[in-house]
Each structure stands twice: as C-alpha cells, then as structure tokens.
Amino acid sequence: MATVILAGLTLFQVALAAGKPIGRLAWGGQHRVLPMRLRVGSALSIAVYVAIAVILLDWAGVISAVQDDTAWIAAWVIAAFFVIGIVMNSASRSRSERFVMTPVVAVLTALSVIVAAGW
C-alpha cells in the first residue's frame, strides 16, 4: 500500500516538475506553477520516492535489493522522515497542503512504521 501511495506521489511530482498548475499542494503552496528551482526539487523528489519504495519493499521481503541491516535502519529512518513530513505539511501556510498532503503523509508514516516494525 505504501508503494501505491508513493507511486501516486511520484506522478504528482512529475506533474509539478513539468509545470502543471498544482503547486498549491506542494513546497509551501506559494506558487500555482512552480518556479524552476522548485521544479528541480520535484524532479529530485522522484528519486527519493523510488529509493523509499525500494527500501520498504526490500524490508517487507517483496524484493531483495539492500542488505538486511541497512534496510532495517533505512526503514526506521523513512518512518522518521515521514513524521517530519507530517509536521512540515501541517505547518504549511497553504490550506490545500495542510488538508490534502498532511493526511497522505500521516498514512505513509503509519504504513512505514508497520513495515519497519515487521508487522
């Protein structure tokens, strides 16, 4: 389930990087269409989401891409990363970002904890 959400977020970041007018949902929500520096940030986010998906899939035993010790540590780092994401999104000045993205990140946090804990 986490990888499905990450795939959706990846498509969202692709759209942002391509200049689609959905910037109110990301990067503080100050721009309808992201400026170039934030588009680059969105493009880099794609790589981060792919890495997160690989680590979670590995630790869940779906694929084998990372050593177990590394995957276990990385899975908990990812969970902590998403906790920070909840704080950041909920503190955004953008109402859209607060009320759309915060719940998405909260679900990712819960799913990441489930995977990291091996439940």
- What pLDDT is attached to residue 119? 86
pLDDT at position 82 is: 97
Determine contact, residues 100/9, Cβ cutoff 8 Å: no
- Between 68 and 41, the more confident residue is 41
pLDDT of 5-40, one tens digit each? 999 999 999 999 999 999 999 999 999 999 999 999
Sorted by sequence, the CB contacts under 8 Å of residue 55 that are 6+ apart come out as 65, 66, 71, 74, 75, 78
Average pLDDT of the chain is 95
Domain ranges of the chain: 2-117
Measured distance CA(27)–CA(97) in Å, rounded: 8
Give me the half-sphere count of Cα atoms (radius 13 Å) on the Cβ side of residue 1. Answer: 11
